[in-house]
Amino acid sequence: MARALVDARLPRPDVRAATDPIIRGLLADGELAAEDITTPDGRSLGGGQLLADSGCRAIRADGTVHPRRFLLGPSVSGSAGSAGFSRPGFNGAGFRQNDAVARNILRLLAGQETTDTPTPSHEIHRSKELHHAR
């Protein structure tokens, strides 16, 4: 059994239409949740980005947070990477968030508790709001 997995692919903008077998399987099993995009009158437009808490931990379909599964990048609601890629040498929010998550993963693998919570400069709390609106 693997102790860690890093999937570095970029899924489609609508993660519910992703063809990646890992993303599809985790969504089907309820291990990941995707935001519901709706029109102002409440009509569903399908799914959008994956949901994560402010520490970049995956939110499951039942609303619980997975303590050891982290989500980053443009396909994750509220991620510093959702605004695009940071440029090297500028200490962008995405790099700071990735560094904090990497430190948490290393602590988890070493059997220590995690303490860092990535806080990008433009943190979006949309993921919790969207999940509770479902």
Q: What is the DSSP string of 8-71?
A: -----SSGGG---HHHHHHHHTTSS-EEEEE-TT--EEEEEEEEB-TT-EEEPTTS-EEEEEE-
Residue 33 clears pLDDT 50, i.e. is over it:
yes
Query: 12 or 79: whose pLDDT is higher?
Result: 79
Read off the pLDDT of each residue in 60-85 and give the average, rounded to a whole number: 81
Exposed, middle or buried by CB within 10 Å (0-12, 13-18, 19+), for 74?
Answer: middle
**H or E segment and range at residue 77:** strand 76-77
Nearest Cα to Cα of residue 62 among 102, 95, 14, 29: 29
Condensed to tens digits (0 to 9), the pLDDT of residues 79-128 reads 766 556 667 777 777 778 888 888 988 888 888 765 444 433 333 333 33
Q: Which has the closest alpha carbon to 36: 27, 47, 26?
A: 47
DSSP 96: H
Domain ranges of the chain: 15-85+123-133
Question: How many of the other CB atoms lie within 10 Å of CB of 121?
Answer: 9
Unique residue bearing structure tokens 């693998």: 109
Given a cut of 90, is residue 28 above it in pLDDT? yes
